[in-house]
Amino acid sequence: MATDPRRPSQGAGKVSGKGAARSESPWRAQARSYLDHHRKVARDSARRLKQAPLASLMTWMVMGIALALPVALLLLLSSVQGVSAGWESGARITAYLKLDVALEDAKSLAREIDGDGRVASVELIDRDQALAQFRAASGLEDALDYLGENPLPHTLLITPEESSRSASGVESLVTWLDGMATIERVQVDLGWLQRLNAMTELLSRAVWALALLLSAAVILVIGNTVRLAIENRRDEILVARLVGGTDAFVRRPFLYTGAWYGLGGGVVAWLLLEFALWWLSGPIERLANLYHSEFTLVGLGVDGLLALILVAMLLGWLGAWVAVKRHLDDIEPGELAGG
């Protein structure tokens, strides 16, 4: 039976398939082999941690506590700074005019101050309105009736612009108001807020110093754990070096081990933070309501969680790298041959 010359034969198809396999570029095959080895080593490192669950859990707990403490303090400081920023942005300046200033002059001065670029709004409370408010709030109506004249001056309530609501901006505005001839006194209470900001800045630096110290402790803990793993796999390392394994090849499993330790430690730290937030949020909310405050504890969020996990894995990897760099140099292939 004659065959159609236009139809490729089965053998030709097989040859063309083999030719396609051979046509793959060497660098692509090498890259695929490299990635396959990384996946295999990562799975093997995770399997080894799973085979020693108690030791792995203890290491994760140590890392989680060391990471959760500075992060919790930083979150607390960020919450305090957010509340103080709200107090600072709501600060108003009170300017008391001289008693002999007429109401029309007070209105003219209010318009002049309102025209300044650093001022958002100006509210004028004339002396009669101020006396009426004081009479209603104090309950001293009978005593105030004996006064021969109104002792209260015209008052200006000045709200700074958003760009001038910092401590330095308010101070500059107060200096400008003090220089006006018709203003008797300028009052703004930002001293306590400045002291609070100074304390939070000091605590922030202390927390960062604590974070650096605890990060160094995490690196040492992971380094010591990986050092024990290196000692347990000493013969395996010697064999790998005898057959020509490079330092990167030998180092890779331990680096993945450190990264897995970091991942577990980051997850434990996040769980501890979420538990602490849940445990403290109720009492803090009740205390804030007693002081008519909107203070709330701020959580990590998704971005914060990812950053925590990445930092933890980086610390674990760094601790493993330090241990491998330090102890692999002491293992020589001649030990196996001599033994």
Give the tens place of pLDDT for each residue, 271-311: 999 998 888 887 877 877 776 666 677 778 888 899 999 99
The residues facing 158 across adjacent strands are: 93, 122
Residue 334 domain-assigned (yes or no): yes
What is the distance between the alpha carbons of residues 166 and 164, in angstroms, rounded to a whole number? 6
Domain range for 140: 92-189
Q: Are residues 273 and 209 in the same domain?
A: yes
Classify residue 293 as left (phi > 0), alpha (psi -120 to 50) or beta.
Answer: beta
pLDDT of residue 266 exceeding 50: yes
What does pTM read for this prediction?
Answer: 0.62
- Split at pLDDT 50, 70, 90, the class of 339 is very low
- Tally the domains of the chain: 2
Average pLDDT in the 102-130 region?
85
* 8 A C-beta contact, residue 160 and residue 120: yes
Q: What is the pLDDT of residue 289?
A: 74
Q: Are residues 202 and 77 in the same domain?
A: yes
pLDDT tens for residues 2-28?
444 444 444 444 444 444 445 567 777
Residue 28 domain-assigned (yes or no): no
Number of H helices, E strands in the chain: 12, 4
Cα-Cα-Cα-Cα dihedral sign, residues 78, 83, 85, 88: negative
First-last CA distance in the chain: 72
Q: Are residues 218 and 174 in the same domain?
A: no
Q: Are residues 211 and 312 in the same domain?
A: yes
Q: Are residues 233 and 286 in the same domain?
A: yes
pLDDT tens for residues 80-105?
766 655 555 556 788 888 888 888 88
pLDDT tens for residues 207-230?
889 889 998 988 988 888 888 888
Among residues 141, 156, 189, the one where a domain terminates is 189
Q: Are residues 257 and 131 in the same domain?
A: no
Residue 19 domain-assigned (yes or no): no
What is the distance between the alpha carbons of residues 247 and 232, in angstroms, rounded to a whole number? 18
